[in-house]
Structure 1
Amino acid sequence: MKKANIVVIGGGTGLSVLLRGLKTFPVDITAIVTVADDGGSSGRLRRELKIPPPGDVRNVLVALSEVEPLVEELFQHRFEPGNSLSGHSLGNLLLAGMTSITGDFSRGVQELSRVLNVKGKVLPATNQEVVLHAELEDGSLVEGESQIPLSGKKIKKVFIEPEKPAPLDETLLAIEKADLIVLGPGSLFTSVLPNLLVPEISRKVKESKAWKVYICNVMTQPGETDNFTAADHIKAIYDHIDMPFLHAILVNNQKIPFSYSQRYLEEGAKEVIVDEHRLKEMGLEVVADNLLYFDNEYLRHDALKLSQRLISML
């Protein structure tokens, strides 16, 4: 029996969490990963070596890898402050090194995928360096993914330079073959949307016959989605992509313990309200479930519950 093809589009921690769950199911996974990051180790390597930032790709490779825990730990190891390697993770350096050896970032990602025995394909949204910009509600502009949430003003729209970077042929083919296309979870403006701002990717997603679902974040993100409801997330995507194309939204309906709500509130975040009526007016099927996992400090999506819900949509 043919395996279902699932394409997951995003970046950041949310994408990695989801993929750890999905890889336990008999499906073919393609992860399309943002290359808009410009902070930390990724930003330094990007500026110094003129390569796409490796950080989000590194996390996704690790999430989909099937290697000994020690190898995973080694790949994620971050050097301590005090020398020229301070703050760099070994995985970022290996990706930079493989890019140098192969002369091509996406080729470097594929070679490391083999080393890490990755289940599925990991594809950067584009092989080019792109810079993310935001236009804020007052008309001012902010340059750089890491700077956008720091503005303290509402984001009107984000855009990339160059405007039309070329995606990989493999990426377009994966979208074409997909049975299910998943957006998120992750930072709306800085992890999810940058992938869709590559015109050929958004065109292919819109044309695809696959079932398309957005996984809504559980909490708002300070400086990015302050006071956003679930429908506001969808509206922001449609404002950038020009037409409705999603079939469903997956939301959490599990009660958040008071202690966690308070901790998030202190950081300027609160629970995303699921305005079901508006979502249904947008033509979306609203799929709600208990999707949370609680670590010591933060809420996370439960990778297995999330994956099971997505698999059931097939």
Structure 2
Amino acid sequence: MAKRIKLPSFVKWLYPNLKVKRWFLLATLGIFLFATGFAVMNDGIALGYLELEFREAVYRVTGSTQRVAVPVGVLISTLGVVAIIVGFKRMLNSIISVLLPSDEGRIVDVIYSRQHLSRGPKIVVIGGGTGLSALLRGLKEYTNNLTAIVTVADDGGSSGKLRHEMGILPPGDVRNCLVALADTENTMEKLFSYRFETGTLEGHSLGNLLLAGLTDMAGDFRKGIEQVGSVFALRGDVYPSTLEQVVLVADLADGRRVRGETAVRAARGQIRRVHVEPGDCHPIPEALAALEDADLIVLGPGSLYTSVLPNLLVKGLREKIRSVSAPCVYVCNVMTEPGETDGYGVADHLKAILDHCGQGFVDVVLANKEEIPEEVRVRYAKEGSEPVQGGAKAVERLGAKFHEASLVQTGPAVRHDSRRLARELIRLLFKLKPMGERIALVDAYLLSHKLRQEP
């Protein structure tokens, strides 16, 4: 890979679409008009006198011959331009450094990043659990036009307690997405992920409690999320798939019917079908509007039956996904999940979605092709989990395109690498939908350039 050339900081101010150069030129014009107007008012006497005295002082130092005067004049003009640029830059830094967090980096990089990302592709991701938040962390490096539609079927842990005791929607998955989309992610993660270990609050995370408190104050879970978003400058929106209290129900192959997400995970039986109660729950209008405007819709990654499918069972949500023109990509899990997808391959995951949503619902399946280290496979096997095996032909027989890439994050745990996954999804978007339809040409070029630069 060619070595990337690092541009000087001042050159970055010439980047397109920063919306800075136009105002700098306007301010320079204002200085010129002020000086001209002042000269008109007093017939040029005041400025003319100052100009004459300054010129004579320069001549006394350098001489007044043409050979010397021209370069000296150019030098003085250049110094004037530099003084204007430095002055305006220092003024901007003084103002904005008060408004931005201390770890935001160079102001030109911040301005460029925010202006460029605000014109990025509109991507809607649907799911829940840690997989969804990991994906958002990667995608926010390419666009600010992100929407997360999150499952609200969780009934375990801190979320389950708050749901049963306060009657609010489970905040856990929503909290993780809010943290992932925050500009100041490190600070917000420390705050929101702090978990009490003793007392009556034992087991609760501070983020869940904050969302519960804001929901109680605003009287609406959606407004509570908006309050958090306004404080932490999110690079996207987070919506619950529905505002109704839903319960996940699973029908197992042995004839059992299990109610509740936690019970479904613990049932350890082959799942035939899942549905939600009440069956007539509806999505919120903002989620439907985001799907209508989307350039790309992404399902997962996340638990197939307890994170991805519960969203698609909300009445009106899967119908909207079918009706819009945006391609739908399913990100398949890297490992099977005990009690949910034992023995499943990539095509089995896709078939489960099609069984619930109908043929042709998914356009592309994105799967991992990287080998899992043997020692990691052995450890996961003891827990009843194994790598999900690909199968391009089986996927294509079900009516979807198959795309695979190296998506695994190296380490003791098998997880999707957020940067790799986001990069592959953006590359898929380039292939599936011409970027010129929704994104300015210069932004499409810069986005593709970024993809080429990354390994």
Q: Could you tell me the TM-score, scaled by structure 2's length?
A: 0.67
Structure 2: runs of 5 or more not aligned? 1-115, 430-455
Deviations, residues 49-93 of structure 1 (Å, cap 9, x unaligned)? 11110000000100111126233201110000x311000000000
Q: Does 1:198 align with 2:314?
A: yes
Select the residue among 247, 251, 273 that pairs with 1:135: 251
Q: Does 1:302 align with 2:393?
A: no
Q: Taking CA–CA contacts closer than 8 Å with sequence separation of 6 or more, which of the two structures ends up with the larger relative contact order?
A: 1
2:153: which partner in 1?
A: 36
Whichever structure has more helix as a proportion of its residues is 2
Matches for 1:77-92 after TM superposition, within 5 Å: 77-80=194-197, 82-92=198-208
Aligned-partner Cα distance in 1 for 2:187–2:122: 30
Aligned-partner Cα distance in 1 for 2:426–2:188: 29
2:400: which partner in 1?
A: 284
* 1:244 to partner: Cα distance: 2.1
Aligned-partner Cα distance in 1 for 2:248–2:419: 32
2:428: which partner in 1?
A: 313
Aligned-partner Cα distance in 2 for 1:139–1:11: 27
Contact 1:247 1:285 in 2 (8 A): yes
Aligned-partner Cα distance in 2 for 1:72–1:212: 30
Select the residue among 113, 119, 131 that pairs with 1:14: 131
Q: Does 1:173 align with 2:289?
A: yes
Select the residue among 186, 191, 196 that pairs with 1:69: 186
Aligned-partner Cα distance in 2 for 1:68–1:248: 31
Structure 1 residues 137 and 68: CA distance shift in structure 2, 3 A: closer
Contact 1:10 1:185 in 2 (8 A): yes
Aligned-partner Cα distance in 2 for 1:312–1:27: 17
Structure 1 residues 247 and 129: CA distance shift in structure 2, 3 A: same
2:44: which partner in 1?
A: none
Q: Does 1:110 align with 2:226?
A: yes
Give the secondary structure class of the aligned counterpart of 1:217. Answer: coil
Select the residue among 209, 213, 233 that pairs with 1:97: 213
Aligned-partner Cα distance in 2 for 1:91–1:227: 36
Deviating more after overlay: 178-187 vs 136-145: 136-145
| Aligned residue type for 2:228 | L
* 1:312 to partner: Cα distance: 1.1
Aligned-partner Cα distance in 2 for 1:189–1:24: 29
1:121: which partner in 2?
A: 237
Contact 1:4 1:28 in 2 (8 A): yes
Structure 1: runs of 5 or more not aligned? none
| Aligned residue type for 1:98 | L
Aligned-partner Cα distance in 1 for 2:195–2:327: 38
Contact 2:126 2:299 in 1 (8 A): yes
1:60: which partner in 2?
A: 177
Deviations, residues 259-310 of structure 1 (Å, cap 9, x unaligned)? 1101110110001111211101122211111111123x31111111110111
| Aligned residue type for 2:251 | E
Deviating more after overlay: 91-100 vs 157-166: 157-166
Contact 1:41 1:88 in 2 (8 A): yes
Contact 1:51 1:128 in 2 (8 A): no
Select the residue among 269, 277, 288 that pairs with 2:385: 269
Q: Could you tell me the TM-score, scaled by structure 1's length?
A: 0.97
Matches for 1:107-256 after TM superposition, within 5 Å: 107-256=223-372
Aligned-partner Cα distance in 2 for 1:117–1:146: 33
Aligned-partner Cα distance in 2 for 1:71–1:188: 28
Aligned-partner Cα distance in 2 for 1:159–1:10: 15
Give the secondary structure class of the aligned counterpart of 1:147. Answer: helix
Contact 2:144 2:235 in 1 (8 A): no
Q: Number of paired residues?
A: 312
* 1:27 to partner: Cα distance: 4.6
Contact 2:179 2:185 in 1 (8 A): no
1:49: which partner in 2?
A: 166
| Aligned residue type for 1:231 | A
Aligned-partner Cα distance in 2 for 1:68–1:300: 19
* 1:4 to partner: Cα distance: 1.4
| Aligned residue type for 2:135 | L
Contact 1:6 1:27 in 2 (8 A): no
2:92: which partner in 1?
A: none
Aligned-partner Cα distance in 2 for 1:88–1:269: 29
Whichever structure has more strand as a proportion of its residues is 1
Aligned-partner Cα distance in 1 for 2:354–2:415: 26
